[in-house]
Amino acid sequence: MIQRIQTLYLFLAAVISAGLIFVFHLWIDDNGEKIYALDNYLCLGLFLGSALLSLISIFRFKDRKSQFVLGRLNIILNFILLGILVYESSKVPGEINFSEKGIGIILPVFSIVCLVLANKAIKKDEDLVKSVDRLR
């Protein structure tokens, strides 16, 4: 449902994962070229997979348990993506000279925060439904 707060968090996570990767660069290589997610197909696939999981989770609002599980899987996917981004940025040649990292590297962190808040709201809804079922 659109009026639930977790829908807003999940949509924000999808926008961060799918939209902002085209705006912010991940890092600058030793030639001074900005590296975007489009240049690395693994990172692009993981970003778009995270956005897809968020959108699927939005439309699974009738089944809160699967929505919660999809949120957890998305968090794990973003941690994997964050690890790959840190690894890729650290193996850039000339790392002794401090290469410039872009804000795109911390996009998975923002996505993880949104997903954790969404899962917290989903859990709260599930607990509310269970407490109402006990009263019947």
CB-based contacts of 64-73 (< 8 A; 24+ apart in sequence): 64/122, 64/125, 64/126, 64/129, 65/126, 67/6, 67/122, 68/119, 68/122, 68/123, 68/126, 71/10, 71/115, 71/118, 71/119, 71/122, 72/119
Q: How many domains does the chain have?
A: 1
Per-residue pLDDT reduced to its tens digit, 47-101: 999 999 999 999 988 888 999 999 999 999 999 999 998 888 777 565 555 556 7
Q: pTM (2 decimals)?
A: 0.87
- pLDDT tens track for 91-105: 756 555 555 677 888
